Amino acid sequence: MHLVTCVEDQRKIAVKRVPRMFYEYADGGSWSESTYQANERDWQLFKFRQRVGVDVSSRSTSMQMLGVNQPMPVALGPVGLMGMHRANGEILAAQSAEEFGVPFTLSTMSICSIEDVAKHTKNSFWFQLYMMRDKDFIKRLIVRAKEANCSALMVTVDLPILGDRFKDRKNGLSTPPKLSPKNIINLFSKPQWCAEMLLTRRRFFGNVVGHVKGVEDMSSLSDWVSSQFDPSLSWQDLESLRKIWDRKFIIKGIMDPEDAKLAVKLGADAIVVSNHGGRQLDGTISTISALPAILESVSGEVEVWIDGGIRTGQDILKAIALGANGTLLGRAYLYGLGANGKAGVTQTLEMLQCELDTTLALCGGSFLKNVNSSILYNN
């Protein structure tokens, strides 16, 4: 029995239960991983002011994201290959988010399909879209997302080409995975994972296989995926997409104030300050370092959310104190999923909310929606 007290405890369990190639796919960055490491480290640059003699007997961590009240300003962000961390992973995470009361975002490159997640949840969820060369496929994806009652579209814009992730190459992570003797030994050292994967039919990219002409198996899928990311992606493409999506529209991957202004002009309902978890451009600044200038550039004209390195409820509180309207989790809840499935994701959310609430009280705060930078020391 493992005593879990924080997200780091879940990570230590997940690394033992998830095959190395899939664990390191998520828990790694590009090149030297300097940006991946900075994302987590730089949250510690901001320090809380401890206040006493304040009545904090009545508190609330609730806030709105996109006009919807939530128990805390958190959404589960899109994670590719989630269903390879745990069998049926996207379904389990979506169910946990739904029961807790926060949004779940399904990745284009998910193992469980849009229809799978819709079938196993009661409420609407969000869908994340990569702009690909196959425009007919994109149009069909959007139709499928609408038919599944997805309430928001999150377009990831920071992947015109794939960043070079050394761990993936060393681990032979490809489509299909390269089953070297080392990888086979590692897979069989995860008996629970193997047993669960044998019992599910969801082992491929569910949004792609069977939905693209000529893509019916892993070999044809590999050829298609490798050719699809579109280096010609422009703001004009996003403008065209905005015109055909009549629900909430989120742009993820903003790290520059000028790009934030363009997103406002486009009509985005929210933007996500994100560097893809340090998995794309290595050597750029952390998301928390980029946040203040982006907030200043948009002057409240759009909701500004942040991801990257969020591991505690204290990180969430710092983001809100600095002016963010919400946060996205990625690795934090993936660790929970890998450690203990649906219950692990719920545990992640519960721990973060408890940390958020406790820190709010010790800073002399009662209502998260009223928090501002006065609870932080000036840097």
The secondary structure of 94-121 as a DSSP string is HHHHHHHT--BEE-TT-SS-HHHHHHT-
- Asked if omega into 191 is within 30° of 0 (cis), the reply is no
Rounded CA separation 33/37 (Å): 6
**Beta-ladder partners of 104:** 76
Look-up of token digits 């814009």: 157
Residue 223's pLDDT band (cuts 50, 70, 90):
low
Tell me: pLDDT of 97 over 90: yes
Position 230 scores a pLDDT of: 85
- Summarize the confidence of residues 223-228 as an average pLDDT: 74
pLDDT per residue as tens digits for the range 256-292: 999 999 999 999 999 999 999 999 999 999 999 999 9
% of the chain surpassing 70 pLDDT:
96
Of the listed ranges 164-173, 243-252, 328-337, the least confidently predicted one is: 164-173
Mean pLDDT estimate for the chain? 94
Residue 210's pLDDT band (cuts 50, 70, 90):
confident
Question: Which structure tokens are listed for 379?
Answer: 């840097």
Phi/psi region, residue 210 (left: phi>0; alpha: psi -120 to 50; beta: rest), is left
- Summarize the confidence of residues 165-172 as an average pLDDT: 87
Residue 168's pLDDT band (cuts 50, 70, 90):
confident
Of the listed ranges 181-185, 222-226, 324-328, the least confidently predicted one is: 222-226
Tell me: pLDDT of 379 over 90: no
Tell me: pLDDT of 175 over 80: no
pLDDT per residue as tens digits for the range 46-57: 999 999 999 999
- Summarize the confidence of residues 63-90 as an average pLDDT: 97
Of the listed ranges 160-174, 211-225, 294-308, 352-366, the least confidently predicted one is: 211-225
Tell me: pLDDT of 233 over 70: yes
What is the CB-side half-sphere exposure of residue 232 using CA atoms within 13 A? 7
Instruction: Examine the residue annotation and report whether 276 is marked as an active-site residue of this protein.
Output: yes
Position 173 scores a pLDDT of: 80
Position 229 scores a pLDDT of: 81
Rounded CA separation 306/327 (Å): 5
Position 176 scores a pLDDT of: 63
Among 2, 85, 211, 276, the one annotated catalytic = 276
Position 278 scores a pLDDT of: 96
Local structure of residue 83 (DSSP, 8 states) = G
- Summarize the confidence of residues 107-113 as an average pLDDT: 95
- Summarize the confidence of residues 108-133 as an average pLDDT: 96
- Summarize the confidence of residues 347-371 as an average pLDDT: 98
Strand, helix or coil for residue 332: helix
Tell me: pLDDT of 11 over 70: yes
Domains observed in the chain: 7-375 (3.20.20.70)
**Beta-ladder partners of 68:** 65
- Summarize the confidence of residues 22-27 as an average pLDDT: 93
